[in-house]
Structure 1
Amino acid sequence: MSGYGLSFTNNDNVVILDSEYARLCKIYSGRYSPNYGPGNFQSVITFPAPITSAEQPLVFLRPDTVNGLLKLGTVATVLGGPGNWTGFITGMYDQVGFYPNGRYIVASFGAQPVASYGLRLFSADGVPIFDSGTPNVLFTRSFQNWTYVTNSRLPQGEYVNYYTVPFNFPEDEYLLGNSFVMRMNNADNIGRSLHTWWDFNKKVLYAVTIGFSNPYAFFLPAIFAKLAV
C-alpha cells in the first residue's frame, strides 16, 4: 500500500487487510435445495438484497455428500446484471434419485455494507472494500491436470468426454461454479457444455463435456475455496 491508509498483517507478515485492495469477501451463504424446473432438478437462490458489484459475484458450491456418484449439471448461473446481481440457479444432470442439495458461498472482491456495527473501509472511489460482517474467502487449490478416461455417445450423436482427478472431498471446500457453467470452444459454433461429477466413494472428481465434435484436450481448472476462520 502507499504511505497512508490502513493495513493489517498476520504473524507471518502476510497482509490480510489493506485499505487499497479488496479481499474476496463472503456476501451470502446458506443452503440450496430442489425448488425449480421439471422434476425439481434445479435450485434457484434469491439473494436477500442485490449485490451491487460491476463484476459478477463468485458462487462456490459444496453438494451434500452422498453414497455414490453425484452428477452436477448447470453448476452456477448468476442471475441479474452489473450492479444488480439478484441470485443464482444450479441444477443436476437429470439424475434419478439425486437432487440439488448442498451449501453455497457467494463472494465478491469487495464488501457489501451488511454489518450494523464494527469496521468498514472504503476505496478512494467510495466503494466499500471491507465490512466486518463479510468474512474472508480463501482460495485453497485448483486442479488442471485432468486425465482423459473415455467417451460415449448420446442418442443425437453428441460426444460425452470424461476427465478425472483424485480428490478427497473435504466438507469445508467449495467448488467455484461460475467457470463450470460456460460453454467451451469446439470445432463448431455450438461448443461443448460442461459438467462436474463427484464420486464420493472412489474419491474422484470428474469433468464431463458434451458436444458434437470430440476434442480431447481439456485444461479448465477446477478451483476450490473455503471460508477463513
Structure 2
Amino acid sequence: MKYGLSVVNDSGVVSLDSEYARLCVFHKSAYTANVAVTFQNAVTTQEPPLVFIRPLNNGSFIQLGVILGGSAGAWSSATVVSGQAHSGDIFVAAFSSTPITSYGFRMWDAESKQIFDSGTQAVIFTRSVQNWTYTHTTYSSQGLPTNWYSITMDYALGDYLMINNARMPMMGANNESRGTGLRYDFASSVLRLSVTTVSNPFYLLLQAVFGKIAT
C-alpha cells in the first residue's frame, strides 16, 4: 500500500493492515444444541458472521447445522442445529470490529468502517481440508442416493470447525442442487459429510475450514 499502517510478524506475515479488516471475535461462549445463543456484541456486517464450534467429545455421532438470527447489518444470535443432544464451545467472528475498550488502538478504513480495535480478539484460520474420502452410498425409500465422505478429525489439535456451510445446498457442475450434511463421528475419529441429490456425482471439493482465537 502507498500509505497507512502495516504490521508484519517475525515470519514476514502481515498481521495487521490499515486497508483490510481482520477476522475479529464478536461472541464466545458455551452452547447447547438447538438453543439460540445471543451474541455479546451484535455483528453489523452485511454478510453473515462466521460461526465456529467445538462440540464436546461424547463418543457418538453428532449432526451439525446453524441458523443465524437477525438480519444484514444486525446479526444477533446463532443456533447450532442438531438431531442429537450435545453441547460445546462456540465463537462468532466477522471481518469487522466493534469499539469495546475505552482506551487502546483503533483503525478505520477509507470508508470510515472500523476495522480494528485492540480490545477485540482476532481469529486465525488454522487449516482448510478438502481431501475427502468417499466411503459409501445409501438410498432413501424413494431411491434417492446419498454419497458419504470422511476426513480424519484431528480433534486433539484444539481448533474449531466453521459450520456456516454445514447443511448448505451445494451446486455441482451439472447445475443440480445437492443437499449436504456435516457430522462429527467421535467413535470413528472422523468428520463425515453427506451429499444428496437425484444425479449424484462422486467428486467433492467442499472445504472443511478450521480456526481458533489468536492468543
TM-score, normalization by structure 1: 0.84
In structure 2, what is the Cα distance between the partners aligned to 1:48 and 1:227?
Answer: 16
Give the conservation status (yes or no) of the 8 Å contact 1:77–1:181. Answer: no
Are residues 1:84 and 2:74 paired?
A: yes
Give the conservation status (yes or no) of the 8 Å contact 2:167–2:182. Answer: no
Are residues 1:130 and 2:116 paired?
A: yes
Partner of 2:2: 2
The C-alpha deviation readout for 1:115-149, integer Å capped at 9, x for no partner, is 23322111121111001222111111111111111
How much has 1:76 moved relative to structure 2? Answer: 2.0
In structure 2, what is the Cα distance between the partners aligned to 1:205 and 1:65?
Answer: 12
Aligned pair partner of 2:98 in 112, 125, 144: 112
Q: Counting strand residues as a fraction of each chain, which structure ranks higher?
A: 2
Aligned pair partner of 2:62 in 57, 71, 78: 71
What are the residue-to-residue correspondences of 1:92-111 with 2, within 5 Å? 92=82, 94=83, 98-111=84-97
Question: 5+ residue gaps in structure 2?
Answer: none
The C-alpha deviation readout for 1:64-94, integer Å capped at 9, x for no partner, is 11113x2223x223222221112122211x3
Aligned pair partner of 1:169 in 123, 130, 155: 155
Please give the root-mean-square deviation of Cα atoms over the aligned residues, in Å.
2.1
Question: 5+ residue gaps in structure 1?
Answer: 35-41
Give the conservation status (yes or no) of the 8 Å contact 2:26–2:39. Answer: no
Which amino acid letter does the alignment assign opposite residue 187 of structure 2? N
Which amino acid letter does the alignment assign opposite residue 61 of structure 1? I
TM-score, normalization by structure 2: 0.89
The C-alpha deviation readout for 1:179-217, integer Å capped at 9, x for no partner, is 22321236686x332112222233211111233443222
In structure 1, what is the Cα distance between the partners aligned to 2:25 and 2:154?
Answer: 24
Give the conservation status (yes or no) of the 8 Å contact 1:176–1:225. Answer: yes
Which amino acid letter does the alignment assign opposite residue 5 of structure 2? L
Give the conservation status (yes or no) of the 8 Å contact 1:62–1:175. Answer: yes
How much has 1:171 moved relative to structure 2? Answer: 5.7
